[in-house]
Amino acid sequence: MQQPPVAHVEWSSRLAFILAASGSAVGLGNIWKFPYMAGENGGGAFVLVYLLCVLAVGVPIMIAEILIGRRARLNPMDAMGTLAAQHGRSGVWRWVGLAGVIAGVLIMSYYSVITGWTVAYIGKSVSGAFNGISGPQAQAVFEDFISDPLDLLLWHTLVLAVVLGIAARGVAGGIERAVQWLMPGLLVLLVALVCYGAATGGMGAAARFLFTPDFAALDGQTVLAAMGQAFFSLSLGMGAIMMYGSYLPRQAPIGRSALIIAALDSGVAIVAGLAIFPIVFGNGMAPGEGPGLVFVTLPVGFGQLPAGGLFAGLFFLLLLFAALTSAVSLIEPGLAYLTERTGRSRGQAVAIMGSAIWLLGIGTVLSFNVWSTPWLAGRTFFDAVDYLTSNLMLPLGGLAVALFAGWALPRLATDDELQLDTPRLRRYWRLLCRWVAPAAVVLVFLHAIGLLG
């Protein structure tokens, strides 16, 4: 086994890794996207397929990313390049790692803008802006908010400054310390919101919607949507989990850690549904409201309830916590690449990364106002970056990681890292990583680019 560089840091414990990797996976996709995806795709049927896809697709690829990261103890580009060279494989694999680093930077450029919306909505909520508000009024508030580029730029800058401040303090002093506070805080807020939702009287309808599969609603589109959500929800294909895996102590079991992370990620998504849908059903609103569910529909629901402004503020604080833990992981591969490749200090790397992300973020800010007319192949700047990363870079990156771990790395190397208890478990992972996960990701990719379904 290759020995890690002397200066390479490690998580202080397996728990620290699980919290950090769970924080990377748990983000806006769990609390914002999962509920409306379930709402649009039949509720319980979607949830069931989603959970099966997490086990069959998400977990094997997550194990592969962690395995590669810990084996090489390097940033994603050099990790895949070094391991490929060691085992006589093509040097092309290193570009897969670099693509993941670039994807993280591109995603972060709009993620910080959207996260800025949640910060602004905390203030709007607790100030009573949504008390008694109607649907058209909530829509008008949202449209007025995103129409001001200077306002959006301010929130984008604030969020990015916080994320960079955490990242600048390093793995132990920054990322570990942040997730040790943010992840428990996120879970406490989520439980509080579930209790509040139960008090609205809509919990029964929400539970039936999420846990009673309507197999009549289960079609090819639903399966592909659930498969795509399972893949993207776990932060796969962007180098974040691989980078966090490179800090994992040798003695920590990879398989069990990946299962715990996936369980926490899926659990947060489902519990978020139990927090959101009681408010939706309790106010007679439709669950399939799409992306506007969080910033338009929910403010209306909270605005009709006792202490709604306070709990709306807590809901958007929950979104902020989830977004921050993911945002830190998005830039870590790029920071490691700059420090390991160029010898720059972490502070210098943070300044370079921060400047690039801030400038790219301006494109997303303007996409909702000044540049709202599509001009890049029929898309706004934001839509183009989102399409490039979500539909092309991430699924192709995840596919490449599965193929690299399943086919390019020799079995002795993967078995040495996995340390699975029985040959049967090793065979199951290899089967899923070599055949099942790649096939599923190809289907998601073809669906995402419009060639399937």
Task: Identify the pLDDT of residue 291.
Answer: 67
The token pair that represents 183 in the structure block: 């992840």
In the predicted structure, residue 93 carries a pLDDT above the cut 50:
yes
> What is the spatial distance between Cα 193 and Cα 31, in angstroms, rounded to a whole number?
12
* Degrees to nearest 5, angle at CA 236 with 377 and 244: 130
Q: What is the pLDDT of residues 22-58, one digit of tens each?
A: 999 998 888 878 888 888 888 899 999 999 999 999 9
> What is the spatial distance between Cα 227 and Cα 53, in angstroms, rounded to a whole number?
6
Question: How many angstroms separate the first and last alpha carbons of the chain?
Answer: 44
Beta-carbon contacts of residue 448 (< 8 Å; ≥ 6 apart):
228, 390, 391, 392, 395
Task: Report which of 303, 240, 234 is spatially closest to residue 267, judged by C-alpha positions.
Answer: 234
pTM of structure? 0.93
Q: What is the pLDDT of residues 390-434, one digit of tens each?
A: 888 999 999 999 999 999 999 999 999 998 778 888 899 999 999
Q: What is the pLDDT of residues 295-327, one digit of tens each?
A: 988 899 899 888 889 999 999 999 999 999 999
DSSP state of 376: B
Q: Are 78 and 340 in contact (CB under 8 A)?
A: yes
Residue corresponding to tokens 């996976």:
25
Q: Domain ranges in the chain?
A: 14-448
Task: Report which of 26, 61, 123 is spatially closest to residue 434, judged by C-alpha positions.
Answer: 61
Q: What is the per-residue burial (b if ≥16 Cβ within 10 Å, else e) of 292-304? A: ebbbbbbbbbbbb
Q: Is 219 exposed, middle or buried (0-12, 13-18, 19+ CB in 10 A)?
A: middle
> What is the spatial distance between Cα 175 and Cα 163, in angstroms, rounded to a whole number?
10
290: pLDDT confidence band, cut at 50, 70 and 90? low
The token pair that represents 80 in the structure block: 């895949």
Q: Are 109 and 361 in contact (CB under 8 A)?
A: yes
Task: Report which of 84, 111, 87 is spatially closest to residue 97, judged by C-alpha positions.
Answer: 84
Q: Are 233 and 265 in contact (CB under 8 A)?
A: yes
Q: Are 232 and 393 in contact (CB under 8 A)?
A: no
Task: Report which of 82, 77, 81 is spatially closest to residue 4, judged by C-alpha positions.
Answer: 82
**Paired residues of 305 in beta bridges:** none
Q: Which of 112-116, 324-328, 445-449 has the lowest mean pLDDT?
A: 445-449
DSSP state of 213: B
Q: Is 438 exposed, middle or buried (0-12, 13-18, 19+ CB in 10 A)?
A: buried
Task: Report which of 83, 55, 54 is spatially closest to residue 68, judged by C-alpha positions.
Answer: 83
Q: What is the pLDDT of residues 176-195, one digit of tens each?
A: 999 999 999 999 999 999 99
Q: What is the per-residue burial (b if ≥16 Cβ within 10 Å, else e) of 100-125? A: bbbbbbbbbbbbbbbbbbbbbbbebb
In CATH, what is the architecture of 14-448? Orthogonal Bundle (1.10)
DSSP state of 309: H
> What is the spatial distance between Cα 326 and Cα 131, in angstroms, rounded to a whole number?
31
In the predicted structure, residue 453 carries a pLDDT above the cut 70:
no
Q: Are 277 and 35 in contact (CB under 8 A)?
A: yes
> What is the spatial distance between Cα 3 and Cα 232, in angstroms, rounded to a whole number?
31
Task: Report which of 104, 142, 102, 105 is spatially closest to residue 121, judged by C-alpha positions.
Answer: 142
SS3 of residue 169 by DSSP: coil
